[in-house]
Amino acid sequence: MAALIAENFRFLSLFFKSKDVMIFNGLVALGTVGSEELFSVVAFNCPCSPARNYIYGLAAIGVPALALFLIGVIWNNHTWNLVAECHKRGVKNFSAAATFLLFGSIMGRAAVAPVTWSVISLLRGEAYICALSEFVKPSSLDKFPADYGADVLARFPCKDVPANLTKFRDEVTRRLRYESQLFGWLLIGIVAVLVFLTKCLKHCCSPLSYRQEAYWAQYRSNEDKLFRRTAEVHSRILAAKNVKHFFGFVALDKEEKELVQEFPVEGVQPSPQWNAITGVYIYRENKGFPLYSRLHKWAKGVEGNGPSPEGHEMLFLAS
């Protein structure tokens, strides 16, 4: 346990030295590892019954993975940007490549937790052993008693077997654990290759230089932080004005009074402005000058989102 905790801390420190997306993915993976460990210790309990083992074992791997995937899709900002884009403007302005990359970004980010869950489950092997123990052919076991069948094999994960079958239980467990861990390592290798190829494809297809793409990522991050911070202050001041208008006064603390005095709020932004800065953003250039976001594009007064003869197109893939 101490080694696991130390490894998790090393894992955490490594990701905090990397990029924001890597930090997020690392924390998701780390949380999934801890959840899977807790589930295996507390909740997993193989029924050791024919026809039930298979369903329970697959459910223990697949159902949490599906739930984590759906949670990942829900938490991804790209999902709701895409929903807003389809609702307001449709996808007529997207090329096939941009649409594919957008869905790939959403699915890829959402797949971090379920893939981690599946890998850890396979490396541990308990669920795999529970699911497939009853399907081991007795003929593949040397000198296995002929009067025992699948009902006894299904009880192997619970170690509830006659004494004369202990060595066969150990052999079946060892064989299934080998298969489970092999599939786990293969899954890790496949995911690593896919991530590598995706990163190569992204940089090869990008119309931006490495430095400009890094600047673009910094701009998006800063714009998002400043927008959220300013929106929180704006909404607080507007709420204070409306409460004061209703009651005749408003109870503010010292910090809130300073905010109200420093930032006078005259009104709210109309819906067309909110719609203009909401949705999926495809990288554009206007007369050779980059437009880094929908807010940047709105501030410059550029209309439309369709491709222009001098424009470039690149999908907004940041978190």
Q: In which band, very low, low, confident or very high, does the pLDDT at 11 lie, cut at 50, 70 and 90?
A: very low
pLDDT digits (tens, 9 = 90+) for 257-280: 998 899 988 888 998 899 888 887
In this predicted structure, what is the pLDDT of residue 129?
A: 92
In this predicted structure, what is the pLDDT of residue 19?
A: 46
Highest mean pLDDT, choosing among 8-12, 53-57, 94-98:
53-57
pTM of the model: 0.71
Amino acid at 317: L
Could you tell me which residue, 13 or 135, shows the higher pLDDT?
Answer: 135
Residue 144: count of CB within 10 angstroms of its CB:
20
Q: How many residues does the chain have?
A: 319
In this predicted structure, what is the pLDDT of residue 33?
A: 60
Where do the structural domains in the chain lie, given as residue ranges?
36-204, 209-264+272-298
pLDDT digits (tens, 9 = 90+) for 134-175: 888 887 887 777 777 778 888 888 877 777 778 888 888 899
In this predicted structure, what is the pLDDT of residue 97?
A: 66
Question: Which tokens belong to 274?
Answer: 């909110």
In this predicted structure, what is the pLDDT of residue 177?
A: 94
Angle at 271 between CA 265 and CA 272, to 5 degrees: 115
What average pLDDT does range 210-214 have in this prediction?
Answer: 86
What average pLDDT does range 60-89 have in this prediction?
Answer: 84
In this predicted structure, what is the pLDDT of residue 122?
A: 92
Q: In which band, very low, low, confident or very high, does the pLDDT at 92 lie, cut at 50, 70 and 90?
A: low
For the chain, give the percent of residues with pLDDT over 90. Answer: 29
Mean pLDDT, the chain, whole residue set = 79
Whether the per-residue pLDDT at 319 is higher than 50: the answer is no
In this predicted structure, what is the pLDDT of residue 296?
A: 93
What is the full DSSP assignment across the chain?
-HHHHHHHHHHHHHHHTS-HHHHHHHHHHHHHHHHHHHIIIII------TTHHHHHHHHHHHHHHHHHHHHHHHH-HHHHHHHHHHHHT-STT--HHHHHHHHHHHHHHHTHHHHHHHHHHHHH-HHHHHHHGGGS-GGGSTT--TT--HHHHTTGGGT-S-GGGHHHHHHHHHHHHHHHHHHHHHHHHHHHHHHHHHHHHHHHH-SS-HHHHHHHHHHHHHHHHHHHHHHHHHHHHHHHHHHHHHHS-----HHHHHHHHHS-------HHHHHHT-S--B-EEETTEEE-SHHHHHHTT----S--TT----B----
Q: In which band, very low, low, confident or very high, does the pLDDT at 27 lie, cut at 50, 70 and 90?
A: low
Whether the per-residue pLDDT at 16 is higher than 70: the answer is no
